[in-house]
Homo-oligomer: A and B are copies of this chain.
Amino acid sequence: MVSMKDIALACDVSVATVSKALNNHKDVGEDTKVRIRETAKEMGYFPNSSARALRTNRSYNIGVLFVDEAQSGLTHDYFASVLDSFKVTVEKHGYDLTFINCNKDNKNRMSYLEHSRYRGLEGVIIACVPFDDLEVLDLVNSDLPVVTIDHLFDNRMAVISDNVKGISDLLRYIYKQGHRKIAYIHGQNTSVSRNRLVSFYKTVEELGLSIPDEYIVDGKYREVKHTQIMTNQILDLQDPPTCIIFPDDLSAVGGMNAINARGLKIPEDISIVGYDGISIASRIEPKLTTIRQDTKLMGRRAAEKLISLIEKPKSTLIEHIVIEGKLIEGKSVCKR
Protein backbone atom coordinates (compact mmCIF):
# COMPACT_ATOMS: atom_id res chain seq x y z
CA MET A 1 0.00 0.00 0.00
CA VAL A 2 1.44 3.30 -1.07
CA SER A 3 1.10 5.98 1.57
CA MET A 4 1.66 9.71 1.68
CA LYS A 5 5.13 9.04 2.94
CA ASP A 6 5.99 7.33 -0.35
CA ILE A 7 4.66 10.23 -2.35
CA ALA A 8 6.52 12.70 -0.16
CA LEU A 9 9.72 10.78 -0.76
CA ALA A 10 9.15 10.62 -4.49
CA CYS A 11 8.34 14.32 -4.74
CA ASP A 12 10.98 15.40 -2.25
CA VAL A 13 8.54 17.26 -0.04
CA SER A 14 7.15 16.66 3.43
CA VAL A 15 4.17 14.48 4.20
CA ALA A 16 2.29 17.56 5.32
CA THR A 17 2.67 19.14 1.93
CA VAL A 18 1.39 16.00 0.27
CA SER A 19 -1.66 15.99 2.49
CA LYS A 20 -2.35 19.61 1.80
CA ALA A 21 -1.83 19.24 -1.90
CA LEU A 22 -4.27 16.35 -2.10
CA ASN A 23 -6.80 18.15 0.03
CA ASN A 24 -6.41 21.27 -2.03
CA HIS A 25 -5.26 23.62 0.73
CA LYS A 26 -4.21 27.10 -0.28
CA ASP A 27 -0.71 27.13 1.12
CA VAL A 28 0.86 24.87 -1.48
CA GLY A 29 2.37 26.12 -4.72
CA GLU A 30 0.33 25.42 -7.81
CA ASP A 31 3.15 23.59 -9.56
CA THR A 32 3.94 21.47 -6.49
CA LYS A 33 0.28 20.62 -6.20
CA VAL A 34 0.14 19.35 -9.74
CA ARG A 35 3.37 17.43 -9.34
CA ILE A 36 2.15 15.74 -6.17
CA ARG A 37 -1.25 14.95 -7.61
CA GLU A 38 0.23 13.36 -10.67
CA THR A 39 2.70 11.31 -8.71
CA ALA A 40 -0.09 10.15 -6.43
CA LYS A 41 -2.12 9.01 -9.36
CA GLU A 42 0.85 7.32 -11.00
CA MET A 43 1.76 5.48 -7.84
CA GLY A 44 -1.83 4.39 -7.38
CA TYR A 45 -2.30 6.17 -4.10
CA PHE A 46 -5.54 6.00 -2.18
CA PRO A 47 -6.09 7.28 1.33
CA ASN A 48 -6.33 4.93 4.26
CA SER A 49 -9.78 5.38 5.71
CA SER A 50 -8.76 4.12 9.13
CA ALA A 51 -5.98 6.64 9.50
CA ARG A 52 -8.16 9.42 8.25
CA ALA A 53 -11.06 8.42 10.46
CA LEU A 54 -8.80 8.18 13.47
CA ARG A 55 -7.42 11.64 12.95
CA THR A 56 -10.49 13.48 11.75
CA ASN A 57 -13.22 11.56 13.49
CA ARG A 58 -15.00 11.19 10.19
CA SER A 59 -15.54 7.72 8.82
CA TYR A 60 -17.84 8.46 5.89
CA ASN A 61 -19.60 5.34 6.93
CA ILE A 62 -23.29 4.96 7.61
CA GLY A 63 -24.88 2.13 9.53
CA VAL A 64 -27.84 0.05 8.47
CA LEU A 65 -30.06 -1.51 11.07
CA PHE A 66 -32.48 -3.97 9.53
CA VAL A 67 -33.62 -6.80 11.72
CA ASP A 68 -36.35 -9.11 10.63
CA GLU A 69 -37.08 -12.77 11.07
CA ALA A 70 -34.41 -13.47 8.49
CA GLN A 71 -31.96 -11.35 10.51
CA SER A 72 -31.52 -8.58 8.01
CA GLY A 73 -34.59 -7.37 6.22
CA LEU A 74 -32.76 -8.14 3.03
CA THR A 75 -35.31 -10.65 1.98
CA HIS A 76 -38.08 -8.18 2.59
CA ASP A 77 -38.96 -6.82 -0.83
CA TYR A 78 -40.29 -3.49 0.26
CA PHE A 79 -37.47 -2.61 2.67
CA ALA A 80 -34.80 -4.05 0.40
CA SER A 81 -36.03 -1.70 -2.25
CA VAL A 82 -35.89 1.30 0.07
CA LEU A 83 -32.41 0.30 1.19
CA ASP A 84 -31.28 -0.06 -2.37
CA SER A 85 -32.28 3.46 -3.22
CA PHE A 86 -30.77 4.70 0.04
CA LYS A 87 -27.50 3.02 -0.84
CA VAL A 88 -27.31 4.56 -4.27
CA THR A 89 -27.83 8.02 -2.84
CA VAL A 90 -25.33 7.85 0.01
CA GLU A 91 -22.73 6.43 -2.34
CA LYS A 92 -23.18 9.43 -4.59
CA HIS A 93 -22.17 11.55 -1.60
CA GLY A 94 -19.09 9.49 -0.83
CA TYR A 95 -20.46 7.50 2.06
CA ASP A 96 -20.37 3.77 2.50
CA LEU A 97 -22.87 1.46 4.10
CA THR A 98 -22.09 -1.00 6.86
CA PHE A 99 -24.51 -3.35 8.52
CA ILE A 100 -24.88 -3.03 12.24
CA ASN A 101 -24.32 -6.49 13.63
CA CYS A 102 -27.57 -7.79 14.96
CA ASN A 103 -26.57 -11.24 15.97
CA LYS A 104 -28.18 -11.14 19.37
CA ASP A 105 -26.97 -14.47 20.66
CA ASN A 106 -23.28 -13.69 20.65
CA LYS A 107 -21.63 -13.53 24.03
CA ASN A 108 -19.67 -10.37 24.54
CA ARG A 109 -21.54 -8.69 21.73
CA MET A 110 -21.93 -4.95 21.53
CA SER A 111 -25.24 -3.19 21.59
CA TYR A 112 -26.33 -1.44 18.43
CA LEU A 113 -25.09 1.85 19.81
CA GLU A 114 -21.79 0.44 21.00
CA HIS A 115 -21.26 -1.19 17.67
CA SER A 116 -21.99 2.06 15.89
CA ARG A 117 -19.41 3.86 17.99
CA TYR A 118 -16.91 1.06 17.57
CA ARG A 119 -17.12 1.49 13.83
CA GLY A 120 -17.30 5.24 14.04
CA LEU A 121 -20.54 5.32 12.09
CA GLU A 122 -21.68 8.83 11.37
CA GLY A 123 -25.35 8.08 11.09
CA VAL A 124 -27.78 5.23 11.04
CA ILE A 125 -30.82 4.25 9.06
CA ILE A 126 -33.27 2.15 11.01
CA ALA A 127 -36.00 0.16 9.39
CA CYS A 128 -37.84 -3.02 9.81
CA VAL A 129 -36.97 -3.52 13.48
CA PRO A 130 -39.01 -3.97 16.65
CA PHE A 131 -39.15 -0.32 17.60
CA ASP A 132 -39.79 -1.05 21.25
CA ASP A 133 -36.53 -2.96 21.60
CA LEU A 134 -34.43 -1.34 24.33
CA GLU A 135 -31.29 -1.38 22.24
CA VAL A 136 -33.09 0.31 19.39
CA LEU A 137 -34.37 2.98 21.76
CA ASP A 138 -30.86 3.45 23.08
CA LEU A 139 -29.65 4.11 19.59
CA VAL A 140 -32.53 6.42 18.80
CA ASN A 141 -31.95 8.40 21.97
CA SER A 142 -28.23 8.79 21.38
CA ASP A 143 -26.60 11.81 19.80
CA LEU A 144 -26.04 9.90 16.57
CA PRO A 145 -27.89 11.17 13.50
CA VAL A 146 -30.69 8.73 12.88
CA VAL A 147 -33.40 8.35 10.31
CA THR A 148 -36.17 5.84 10.74
CA ILE A 149 -38.27 4.35 8.00
CA ASP A 150 -41.96 3.93 8.60
CA HIS A 151 -41.84 4.71 12.27
CA LEU A 152 -42.08 8.01 14.11
CA PHE A 153 -40.06 9.13 17.09
CA ASP A 154 -40.33 12.64 18.43
CA ASN A 155 -37.37 14.81 17.50
CA ARG A 156 -35.98 12.22 15.14
CA MET A 157 -35.87 12.25 11.41
CA ALA A 158 -38.32 9.88 9.79
CA VAL A 159 -39.41 8.96 6.31
CA ILE A 160 -42.74 7.27 6.19
CA SER A 161 -45.07 6.04 3.58
CA ASP A 162 -48.40 7.84 3.55
CA ASN A 163 -50.50 5.03 4.92
CA VAL A 164 -53.34 7.33 5.82
CA LYS A 165 -53.82 8.51 2.27
CA GLY A 166 -53.01 5.04 0.95
CA ILE A 167 -55.76 3.24 2.81
CA SER A 168 -58.15 6.08 2.17
CA ASP A 169 -57.46 6.00 -1.58
CA LEU A 170 -57.82 2.26 -1.64
CA LEU A 171 -61.07 2.27 0.25
CA ARG A 172 -62.54 5.05 -1.85
CA TYR A 173 -61.57 3.23 -5.01
CA ILE A 174 -63.26 0.06 -3.82
CA TYR A 175 -66.30 2.08 -2.81
CA LYS A 176 -66.42 3.69 -6.22
CA GLN A 177 -66.50 0.26 -7.82
CA GLY A 178 -69.73 -0.27 -5.97
CA HIS A 179 -68.56 -2.33 -3.02
CA ARG A 180 -70.22 -1.70 0.35
CA LYS A 181 -69.28 -4.80 2.28
CA ILE A 182 -65.54 -4.46 2.71
CA ALA A 183 -63.38 -6.53 5.05
CA TYR A 184 -59.98 -5.48 6.29
CA ILE A 185 -57.29 -7.89 7.42
CA HIS A 186 -54.73 -5.64 9.05
CA GLY A 187 -51.13 -6.28 10.13
CA GLN A 188 -49.61 -6.61 13.57
CA ASN A 189 -49.78 -3.74 16.02
CA THR A 190 -47.18 -1.31 14.70
CA SER A 191 -47.43 2.38 14.02
CA VAL A 192 -47.96 1.62 10.36
CA SER A 193 -50.86 -0.68 11.13
CA ARG A 194 -52.38 1.78 13.55
CA ASN A 195 -52.23 4.59 11.02
CA ARG A 196 -53.89 2.46 8.42
CA LEU A 197 -56.58 1.30 10.79
CA VAL A 198 -57.40 4.80 11.95
CA SER A 199 -57.53 5.94 8.35
CA PHE A 200 -59.75 3.01 7.50
CA TYR A 201 -62.28 3.88 10.19
CA LYS A 202 -62.19 7.54 9.31
CA THR A 203 -62.79 6.89 5.63
CA VAL A 204 -65.52 4.40 6.43
CA GLU A 205 -67.27 7.14 8.34
CA GLU A 206 -66.74 9.74 5.63
CA LEU A 207 -68.20 7.37 3.08
CA GLY A 208 -71.11 6.65 5.35
CA LEU A 209 -70.36 2.95 5.32
CA SER A 210 -71.23 0.62 8.12
CA ILE A 211 -68.73 -2.17 8.53
CA PRO A 212 -69.52 -4.97 10.99
CA ASP A 213 -66.84 -5.83 13.52
CA GLU A 214 -66.35 -9.30 12.06
CA TYR A 215 -65.01 -7.68 8.90
CA ILE A 216 -62.02 -6.23 10.75
CA VAL A 217 -59.62 -9.00 11.66
CA ASP A 218 -56.12 -9.26 13.08
CA GLY A 219 -53.74 -10.44 10.42
CA LYS A 220 -50.01 -10.60 9.98
CA TYR A 221 -47.73 -9.08 7.39
CA ARG A 222 -46.26 -11.42 4.81
CA GLU A 223 -47.72 -14.50 6.48
CA VAL A 224 -49.32 -16.69 3.88
CA LYS A 225 -50.52 -19.43 6.20
CA HIS A 226 -52.07 -17.14 8.77
CA THR A 227 -53.68 -15.03 6.10
CA GLN A 228 -55.32 -18.09 4.59
CA ILE A 229 -56.88 -18.93 7.94
CA MET A 230 -58.16 -15.40 8.41
CA THR A 231 -59.49 -15.33 4.88
CA ASN A 232 -61.41 -18.53 5.44
CA GLN A 233 -62.76 -17.12 8.66
CA ILE A 234 -64.11 -14.15 6.75
CA LEU A 235 -65.53 -16.25 3.93
CA ASP A 236 -67.30 -18.41 6.49
CA LEU A 237 -69.31 -15.49 7.80
CA GLN A 238 -73.07 -15.65 7.30
CA ASP A 239 -72.90 -12.45 5.34
CA PRO A 240 -69.43 -12.36 3.78
CA PRO A 241 -67.96 -9.19 2.29
CA THR A 242 -67.60 -8.54 -1.43
CA CYS A 243 -64.05 -7.26 -1.10
CA ILE A 244 -61.12 -7.94 1.19
CA ILE A 245 -58.21 -5.62 1.91
CA PHE A 246 -55.04 -7.56 2.77
CA PRO A 247 -52.12 -6.26 4.86
CA ASP A 248 -49.72 -6.55 1.94
CA ASP A 249 -49.30 -8.07 -1.51
CA LEU A 250 -47.64 -11.23 -0.33
CA SER A 251 -50.37 -12.11 2.10
CA ALA A 252 -52.89 -11.20 -0.58
CA VAL A 253 -51.40 -14.00 -2.62
CA GLY A 254 -51.99 -16.25 0.37
CA GLY A 255 -55.54 -15.08 0.53
CA MET A 256 -55.99 -15.77 -3.15
CA ASN A 257 -55.12 -19.39 -2.57
CA ALA A 258 -57.78 -19.75 0.09
CA ILE A 259 -60.30 -18.15 -2.23
CA ASN A 260 -59.31 -20.28 -5.21
CA ALA A 261 -59.44 -23.41 -3.09
CA ARG A 262 -63.12 -22.74 -2.48
CA GLY A 263 -63.75 -22.50 -6.15
CA LEU A 264 -64.51 -18.81 -5.91
CA LYS A 265 -63.47 -16.50 -8.72
CA ILE A 266 -61.48 -13.31 -8.28
CA PRO A 267 -62.77 -10.68 -8.80
CA GLU A 268 -66.27 -11.81 -9.81
CA ASP A 269 -67.13 -13.68 -6.63
CA ILE A 270 -64.90 -11.73 -4.33
CA SER A 271 -62.63 -8.80 -4.98
CA ILE A 272 -59.31 -8.32 -3.23
CA VAL A 273 -56.63 -5.66 -2.88
CA GLY A 274 -53.11 -5.74 -1.51
CA TYR A 275 -50.64 -3.13 -0.33
CA ASP A 276 -47.00 -2.34 -1.19
CA GLY A 277 -46.89 -2.66 -4.94
CA ILE A 278 -43.95 -5.03 -4.94
CA SER A 279 -43.09 -6.68 -8.21
CA ILE A 280 -45.12 -9.79 -7.57
CA ALA A 281 -48.34 -7.78 -7.53
CA SER A 282 -48.22 -7.16 -11.25
CA ARG A 283 -47.06 -10.65 -12.07
CA ILE A 284 -49.90 -12.66 -10.68
CA GLU A 285 -53.20 -13.39 -12.28
CA PRO A 286 -55.40 -11.49 -11.90
CA LYS A 287 -53.10 -8.49 -11.62
CA LEU A 288 -53.44 -7.22 -8.09
CA THR A 289 -54.93 -3.84 -7.29
CA THR A 290 -52.69 -2.31 -4.67
CA ILE A 291 -50.97 0.80 -3.37
CA ARG A 292 -47.47 1.09 -4.73
CA GLN A 293 -45.21 2.70 -2.19
CA ASP A 294 -42.55 4.96 -3.69
CA THR A 295 -39.56 3.11 -2.29
CA LYS A 296 -37.09 4.88 -4.56
CA LEU A 297 -38.11 8.27 -3.29
CA MET A 298 -38.24 7.10 0.30
CA GLY A 299 -34.69 5.79 0.17
CA ARG A 300 -33.40 8.87 -1.56
CA ARG A 301 -35.01 11.34 0.81
CA ALA A 302 -33.87 9.34 3.82
CA ALA A 303 -30.30 9.41 2.52
CA GLU A 304 -30.34 13.10 1.70
CA LYS A 305 -31.74 14.03 5.07
CA LEU A 306 -29.38 11.81 7.00
CA ILE A 307 -26.36 13.24 5.21
CA SER A 308 -27.63 16.73 5.79
CA LEU A 309 -27.99 15.87 9.46
CA ILE A 310 -24.39 14.67 9.50
CA GLU A 311 -22.89 17.54 7.57
CA LYS A 312 -24.89 20.49 8.83
CA PRO A 313 -26.61 19.41 12.03
CA LYS A 314 -27.45 22.97 13.06
CA SER A 315 -29.32 24.00 9.98
CA THR A 316 -31.09 20.75 9.29
CA LEU A 317 -34.70 20.67 10.21
CA ILE A 318 -35.85 17.52 11.94
CA GLU A 319 -38.98 16.54 10.13
CA HIS A 320 -41.22 13.66 9.30
CA ILE A 321 -41.28 13.21 5.58
CA VAL A 322 -44.39 11.60 4.27
CA ILE A 323 -44.17 9.95 0.88
CA GLU A 324 -47.35 9.32 -1.02
CA GLY A 325 -48.05 5.96 -2.60
CA LYS A 326 -49.95 5.44 -5.79
CA LEU A 327 -53.01 3.38 -6.47
CA ILE A 328 -52.24 0.68 -9.00
CA GLU A 329 -55.40 -0.48 -10.65
CA GLY A 330 -55.17 -4.18 -11.40
CA LYS A 331 -57.86 -6.66 -12.24
CA SER A 332 -58.62 -7.93 -8.77
CA VAL A 333 -61.53 -5.62 -8.06
CA CYS A 334 -64.66 -5.68 -10.19
CA LYS A 335 -67.61 -3.38 -10.52
CA ARG A 336 -70.63 -4.17 -8.41
Residues of A whose CB lies within 8 Å of any CB of B are 1, 44, 46-51, 53-54, 59, 61, 70-72, 74-75, 77, 80-81, 83-84, 87-88, 91-92, 96-99, 101-103, 106, 110, 114, 117-120, 224, 250, 253-254, 256-257, 260, 279-280, 282-285
Q: Which of B54, B77, B254 contacts A75 (CB 8 A)?
A: B77
6 residue pairs, one from A and one from B, having the closest CB atoms: A50-B53, A91-B103, A50-B54, A50-B50, A253-B283, A74-B80
Residues of B within 8 A of A72 (CB): 83-84, 87-88
Q: Once the chains bind, are A98 and B96 in contact (CB under 8 Å)? A: yes
Q: Once the chains bind, are B97 and A46 in contact (CB under 8 Å)? A: no
Number of copies: 2
Q: Once the chains bind, are B280 and A98 in contact (CB under 8 Å)? A: no
- Since A74-B74, A257-B285 are in contact, a sample of 20 more A-B pairs with Cβ atoms closer than 8 Å, ordered by chain A residue number, is A46-B110, A46-B117, A46-B118, A47-B118, A48-B120, A49-B119, A50-B51, A50-B59, A72-B84, A74-B84, A75-B80, A75-B81, A75-B84, A96-B119, A97-B98, A98-B98, A98-B99, A224-B282, A257-B283, A284-B284
Instruction: State A224–B260 Cα separation when bound (angstroms).
Output: 23
Residues of B within 8 A of A97 (CB): 98-99
